[in-house]
Amino acid sequence: MPEITAQTEGAIRILTISNEPKRNAFEGTMAADFLGHLNDADGDAAVRVVVVTGAGDIAFSSGHDLNEIASGAHAATNLGEAPFLRPRDMTKPVIAAVNGHCYAAALILALSCDLRVASVNATFGSPGARLGMLPEGGQIGRLPRLMSSARALELMLTANPLPADEAYRTGFVNRLAGQGEALQEALVLARAIAKNAPSVVAAIKAGVILGEREGIDAAGAYEATVARRLEKAADAREGVSAFLEKRAPVFRGGA
């Protein structure tokens, strides 16, 4: 049954795109359900990191079901690419555990996530030019920032897939994992993040995005303002106390 499943490990919410017969393509209500799960995770104070992956070890996702695009069913939902862009606007970091093929809307999703872990058998594809469709969802504007501009351009112009090892060398992928191990490697990364002050983690994400959108001067002004506020907050008091007392901090994200 095509579905999005959710499970929680400590402070980490794991969302799995499950439609293996179609390489985890989004069909039916899957995109809307996925957006709902992301919204739930972002609104849950107990969740500090979200990890998104695909079922099995062949595909992360092949994107939208092309049959639904051809029939007009996809357009009828009025969702557009909102579910795949949502990680970018979340306050919490989102990690893509790319366990195989990652094409089209799934590439938009991986691009919108804050960090990417890929298995060695993963491939990234932007097939728009081959389908007569413009690559969107940040592919033209943001993808060249996350790998070389020339490599991003080649990926989109040729519509040829980018192997995981090359994606790692370009900096698009943060970590490489063995086949079937992308989720576990992503969880190692997620646990390291979840140990840190959630207020600061959220502020770092927001500041980096602000810098990308408005430039280095805006990011500098953000640092100066937000740093003064956070150094007076509960997370800072707990962090300093824990360091002096030689114990692990217990962050709660309070003011």
Determine the longest span between alpha carbons in the chain, in angstroms: 63
| Domains, the chain, ordered by start | 3-194 (3.90.226.10), 198-244 (1.10.12)
Q: What is the DSSP letter of 92?
A: S
Q: What is the model's pLDDT at position 75?
A: 55
Which residue bears the tokens 């402070």? 11
- Name the region of 43 (left: φ>0; alpha: ψ -120 to 50; beta: rest): alpha
| Closest among 221, 225, 224, 201 to 211, alpha carbons compared | 221
**Percent of the chain, pLDDT > 90?**
92
By residue count, the chain amounts to: 255
Q: What is the model's pLDDT at position 249?
A: 95
Tokens of 10: 């400590």
Round to whole Å and give the CA distance between 46 and 161.
Answer: 37
> Chain-centre distance of CA 68, in angstroms?
24
| Closest among 70, 77, 116 to 93, alpha carbons compared | 116
| Host H or E run for residue 12 | strand 12-18
Are the beta carbons of 63 and 103 closer than 8 angstroms? Answer: yes
| Closest among 44, 190, 237, 193 to 254, alpha carbons compared | 237
Q: Which residues contact 17 (CB under 8 A, 6 or more apart)?
A: 4, 24, 26, 30, 34, 52, 53, 54, 55, 60, 61, 106
Helix, strand, or coil (residue 8)? strand
Q: Per residue in 105-133, pLDDT tens?
A: 999 999 999 999 999 999 999 999 999 99
Q: Per residue in 67-99, pLDDT tens?
A: 766 655 555 467 889 999 999 999 999 999 999
- Asked whether residue 254 carries a pLDDT value surpassing 90, the answer given is no
| Host H or E run for residue 101 | strand 101-103
Round to whole Å and give the CA distance between 94 and 238.
Answer: 25
Q: DSSP for 117-156, please give it.
A: EEETT-EEE--HHHHT----TTTTTTHHHHS-HHHHHHHH
Tokens of 117: 């872990």
pTM reported for the whole predicted model: 0.95
- Point out which residues pair with 94 in neighbouring strands: 50
Q: How many other C-beta atoms are found inside a 10 Å radius of the C-beta of residue 210? A: 16
Q: Per residue in 201-242, pLDDT tens?
A: 999 999 999 999 999 999 999 999 999 999 999 999 999 999
Tokens of 147: 């790998």
